[in-house]
Structure 1
Amino acid sequence: MTNHLNRAIALLQSATEHLTELAATPTERQPLRETINITVEQIHTALAELAAAINPPALDKIPPELLTKAERLGVPLDDIEVRVIITTHHLSQLIGILNEIEQRFAEIRRVREYLLVRLPDMPIEQLGSRLPVYTAADFEWTEPRLSPTELAQIRSKYQIDRLLSQPPRHSADLFKQIAAADRAWEQARADTQSDDLNDTDDLRNLPF
């Protein structure tokens, strides 16, 4: 914290000296715009140092792939203002600004300044899956258990004990029963067709 405070004090003192010199210099000799720009930048950096003194801008909570992408795009991660702004905003905003810089990289001349200005305006979005997350606790049975009397009534009503006492049927036995039923059905059809052909009473009544 002390280092951040000392740097902030030094920056503010330098900014004060610039403004003092600017006020003492005749108007026609003043590098007005350049001096003011330098002073404003020093004040912004001093404010970032003060923010870092209160809440150190550690980057360990940012996914490494995002830090790698930021470095690849030319974002100076050692810059105190950059570190403060990316650690004090939502992760989705950082993802959004990096994607925007990547898409418009050819148009952006100063990546650092672009990030500092645009990052606070990036929308905050939900990260991860938007579907609800269920756990085993969501599927636990919460209804009260049946009493022994109620269970006995159900077993008696549906004859559960009798069903449980029956020997289990083997699948081979079931297939044999199906095959036997199929043969019986085919035999019944054959017998019916044979009876129809042997019935000559109707043939005598034909008109030819």
Structure 2
Amino acid sequence: MRDLAARFVRHHADTLFGIHLAHAHFAVPDKTVLLGVNHETPHCRWANATTFQAIDLNNVHGHVFVLTDHGFHPYEYQASPVPDLPQVEDTFLAELAGFLSRNKLETVVGLQIIDRHPFHMLELVLPQGTVMLDVSNANGCVPTRQTGWKFEVENGEVRVYQANEVHGQTRTGHEVYNKGDPHPRLETLQDLEDVLAKAGILFAA
């Protein structure tokens, strides 16, 4: 991990990028992508399978990337302006790709644009989506598997830190709903709040 961290720091990529444990919870339907949107009340990041036509191409960017034969390809997107990349050196992606390939990590580790917020978030699975929920709002949920790491320089030394995002588990598992049950309506933020409240997960405001 320290060899990987040193590459991020050397190329000045540590303030923007971290690494993410590449994983998927469901097959994204054809002609859709997984698009995350941040919300303040409740504080969460809700990622849904979203049709191409519904995406504002002027307000979207890749969020998590995996290495393919054609370079780094996003498998999850974020609805927000493209982040500023001026300080990241041009050779960073090529060197990182070489490192992952040599160590056979292409399908294990993804590249993630990190959110340096101070909040700890738990990821739960929804029908055709996920929600990263602030732990202060997550009733009866516990962290399970760490999914992200970030890198910093402290007193001249490269440090590896856990990112503030982990898998969360409810009383019944990682998923908010029971497989086989009819999918709940999930079209608006209010729908999401209702589903989480019904499952006993979301604290009342």
Short-chain TM bin: under 0.3
Higher strand share: 2
TM-score (norm 1): 0.23
Higher helix share: 1
TM-score (norm 2): 0.23
Higher relative contact order, structure no. (Cα contacts within 8 Å, ≥ 6 residues apart): 2
User: Larger Rg: 1 or 2?
Assistant: 1
